[in-house]
Chains A and B, each alone.
Chain A
Amino acid sequence: MWRVPIADSETPFALLARTFFAELFASESVASEIQLHRVFVWVFAFLLLPGFFLLVQVFPAYQIAGVVAVAHHRPAQIEAQLNQILLLIVTYSMVTTGIVALFVWDHLNIERRDAMVLGALPLTSLTIVGAKLTALAALLLGGSLVVNLVTAIPFAFTTTLGGWLTLVRHVAACLVANVAAATFVFAALVAIRGAVMLFARERLANILGALLQFGFVVALLCFLIVLLDYGLRPSASAFFVDGAGASVPTAWFVGLFEWLLGVTRPSVDALATRAVLGTSIAGAGAVLVSIAGLRRHMQRALASAGRRGPVPTARMTRLLARTLAGRRPAARATAEFLLLTVARSRPHQALVGVNLAVGVAMIAAVLSSHAHTLASLVHPRTATFWAPLLLAWWAMIGLRAAFFVPAQLPASWVFRSHAPEPERGYWAATRAALAALTLPPIAGLTLVLLVPLVGWPLAAWHLLIVCAATLLLVEVVALTIDFVPFTRAYQAGHARLKTRWWLYVLGPFAFAYVPVRIELHLIGHWVALLEMAAWLLAGAAVLEYVGRRRAHRWTIGEPDDRTDGSSALTVLDLAMPAGMAPTG
């Protein structure tokens, strides 16, 4: 008879759950505890920022509105405003949870590797799936409690007029409603990814993940902007809670909050029921796809890796990059490598996506505050003209950030072993990749956005300015890099946000706003517009000359003198202090 031992200190379930939890934070660019803590601090700071704006913008406004409503004997107005605030809090909870889930997107479901490793061990499917879901639940609860406590307690203090018991009920109801909302989003994302992985290919899941991540970050930033421009609008609340917007999940959880406080209106009951049902269905879906995923992977684990289908080739962009890189084979090969890495590496795409999301949120903010009707956009104006340039700026910032994050660092030996000495090729390849990745989409966007609004001639003129300015920016960014992108160990703090924050704040205005204002001033004076484009291109040419002269400084990594084992090299090198980190 078989006797399977159980460790005295920790059950296999607990050990597995802990391992799965640790796996959620594994990243090639985060190699030490200190770096990991830094990442946590930044992520939480990013997520908590809108929460603090809620505290300083919304709650005082509510108190003032409450005083006015009491003075004018309008209790219904207070309730509508309360719902409005709850809508904001619930939205905040759902969006932040979505971002947390997308942060660990690749680890949301049981993978083939898990099945291969764990399938051979004496563990039941229940243990494996249970441990995975426990790890995810720990992340969900930890994250959502931190985020929601920040808003729930001040919310209760602001909105409660009764005694301590009422206060506690408000805190509890707010927490339950928000954690339920967070669970709904998180479970839905686990279920969606699991279903895509079950029925489609990994590539589709990756594309979906990138799009969702982009969407959620845009949503969070737009939310932040809405808060900055906050004004209590009870009509919006009525739309969501009682009107057509009741089908929106956010409203369900506002209803759940009210139901928990004992409100017995039929509309509230219906919303609360939807909240409970929606969360249950999403949770059940997450459990089911996890079980099905494990079974599917167990079956596949025994078979060979098999074919995964062709990978994205980015053919046209590569062709453009090859052309821009010049005739040197090393430059062309490096440019292709850079493009394929961006095209296929989700962590790098995520960095670009997050930065682009900042641009999209800025455009949305300006449009929402300055353009109330479509008719107001059909003549040249900053709100529309600066959009392509703003996106070009943030795309470039994102690409530069991505270039500093290594892609499979141990494989970079190929550059040290096969590549020629630092030469112009790498600089040429990098600027070619930057141009190929930004110019075509930005040019396309300019035409798609502006042709319907201002017609072909104006759109074409603006396209000329946008292309010239983007080329100038490509040259500037290429000057700030001196190594083959993706091949160097990540150096924490390379962006120098503490000292260069002003560049990131003022940069978009200097690059996007100022040129557009000049361009709008010059519209009708076509020679002057041509001169403006010529000046921008001349600037790009000067920077290109400087870059060419400095290209000999580029490195492809130093000979490695540290240790003997190549697998150990990476770990040791990555964990070294930034100043000592190797370049290869």
Chain B
Amino acid sequence: MLTIEHLTKWYGALPGIQEVSFEVRPGEVLGLLGPNGSGKSTTVKILTGLMRPTSGAVRLDGRDIFDALQAYKAILGYVPEEPHLYSHLTGPEYLRLVGGLRGISRPALDEKIDRFLQRLGIYDDRYQAISAYSKGMKQKMLIAAAVLHNPHIIVLDEPFSGLDVSAARVLKAFVRALASEGKLVVFSSHVLEVVEQVCTRVVILKSGRIAGHDSVANLRTMLQLPSLDAVFAALTAEEDVESRLHGLLDAVHAGSAVSI
């Protein structure tokens, strides 16, 4: 079990997250929700060991992950929010780099990569540099790289970005299947419908603090709201959509440059 205890992160005098605590159990998909700037990315970076918290701890089965960071990283798969890939490499070359760094032997790796490329529909583009890939193809590369070594913990940050409907459906089922194998999955996303479909429980962050933390069904029942969308709006106390809409239209019309 992954336990997050009183995580706090300060950027100079600015708080990133404060007193964030939750846990991720084997076999479940935990959704991490929050508006921009709520601290999702900070939480994800700490969870993946890419950043150390100012205070608090992330424990895997009771042991602080920063005490054995490499062992933790060895069983972690991570899909980052931004598709930063070495675009001068081809897809297979990138996966070979990741697999090699993960210590996977070459014959096994080549076989795995072929399977991934075929299943993800990018086998025909295997000789192309990643710079020629579409956003969806790059996202598929990130997903393949994250699960190449059969990790025990998987952290997905906006994994459906750029994916077409069909690929997104497959990935949703894939995430649920990984969880059903007993893996720990953390799923950070802005797409509430997807989170509602995929996640067992959700943690909603607002201004670096936890605004809500429970199963989707419990949150809906507790707040007597029909959807996760409404729960999210209520917990993050978002500005009224109508007033935002009017503000945007005002901005469009202000000093209008083009008229008919």
Residues of A within 8 A of B (CB): 1-5, 304-308, 310-311, 328-330, 332-334, 336-337, 340-341, 344-345, 407-408, 410-411, 413-421, 559-567
Contact = CB atoms under 8 A, between A and B. Distances in A.
B152 interface: no
Nearest to B17: A564
Interface stretch (B127-135, B209-217, B236-244): B127-135
Interface in B244-260: 257-260
A309 B10 CA distance: 47
A565 B96 contact: no
B121 interface: no
A566 B81 contact: yes
Given A4-B258, A413-B50, A418-B98, A344 B80 contact: no
Contacts of B145: 414, 418
B51 interface: yes
A418 B142 CA distance: 12
Nearest to B149: A418
Contacts of A344: 88, 129
A5 B258 contact: yes
A414 B100 contact: no
Contacts of B258: 2-5
A417 B73 contact: yes
B85 interface: yes
Contacts of A311: 88, 90, 127-129
B97 interface: yes
A2 B260 contact: yes
A561 to B, nearest CB: 6
A566 B80 contact: yes
Given A407-B88, A414-B145, A420-B73, 15 more contacts: A4-B257, A311-B88, A329-B100, A330-B103, A333-B98, A333-B101, A334-B97, A336-B100, A337-B89, A413-B84, A414-B97, A420-B103, A559-B51, A566-B81, A566-B84
B34 interface: no
B13 to A, nearest CB: 13
A344 B130 CA distance: 12
Interface in B186-204: none
A5 B255 CA distance: 11
A5 B11 contact: no
A413 B80 contact: yes
Contacts of B98: 333, 414, 418
A340 B90 CA distance: 10
B8 interface: no
Contacts of B102: 329, 418
A479 B49 CA distance: 29
B105 interface: yes
B93 interface: yes
Contacts of B160: none
Nearest to A333: B100
B46 to A, nearest CB: 9
B116 interface: no
Given A311-B88, A411-B85, A332 B100 contact: yes
Contacts of A567: 82
A525 B6 CA distance: 76
Interface string B33-55: 00000010110010011111000
A330 B100 contact: yes
> What 9 A-B pairs are tightest by C-beta distance, nearest first?
A333-B100, A410-B84, A5-B257, A344-B88, A310-B127, A419-B101, A329-B100, A421-B70, A418-B101
10 contacts: A2-B260, A308-B132, A337-B89, A410-B84, A411-B85, A413-B84, A414-B145, A560-B45, A563-B11, A564-B45
A414 B69 CA distance: 15
B81 A332 contact: no
Nearest to A344: B88
Contacts of B42: 564
B235 interface: no
Contacts of A562: 11
Interface string B227-239: 0000000000000
B101 A415 contact: yes
A274 B86 CA distance: 47
B70 A333 contact: no
B218 interface: no
Nearest to A557: B50
Nearest to A414: B98
Given A5-B257, A5-B258, A329 B99 contact: yes
Contact of B101 (A305, A307, A414, A559): A414
A405 to B, nearest CB: 14
A337 B86 contact: yes
Highest count of chain A CB atoms <10 Å: which of B93, B105, B259:
B93
A222 to B, nearest CB: 32
B87 A305 contact: no
B159 interface: no
A333 B129 CA distance: 17
Contacts of A307: 125, 128, 132
Contact of A333 (B74, B82, B97): B97
B93 A340 contact: yes
Interface string B97-139: 1111111111001000000000000000101110111100000
Contacts of B105: 329
B146 to A, nearest CB: 9
B96 A336 contact: yes
A336 B50 contact: no
A329 B106 contact: yes
B41 A411 contact: no
B97 A305 contact: no
B99 to A, nearest CB: 7
B86 A407 contact: yes
A311 B125 CA distance: 12
A311 B103 CA distance: 26
Contact of A411 (B74, B78, B84, B101): B84
B31 interface: no
Contacts of A341: 86, 88
B57 to A, nearest CB: 15
Contacts of A560: 45, 50-51
A308 B87 CA distance: 13
Contacts of B96: 333, 336
A308 B128 contact: yes
Contacts of B50: 413, 416-417, 559-560
Contacts of A421: 69-70
Contact of A559 (B49, B82, B259, B260): B49
A329 B260 CA distance: 63
A345 B49 CA distance: 30
A223 B134 CA distance: 47
A306 B132 CA distance: 7
Nearest to A345: B88
Contacts of A345: 88
A434 to B, nearest CB: 19
Contacts of A1: 260
Contacts of A566: 41, 80-82, 84
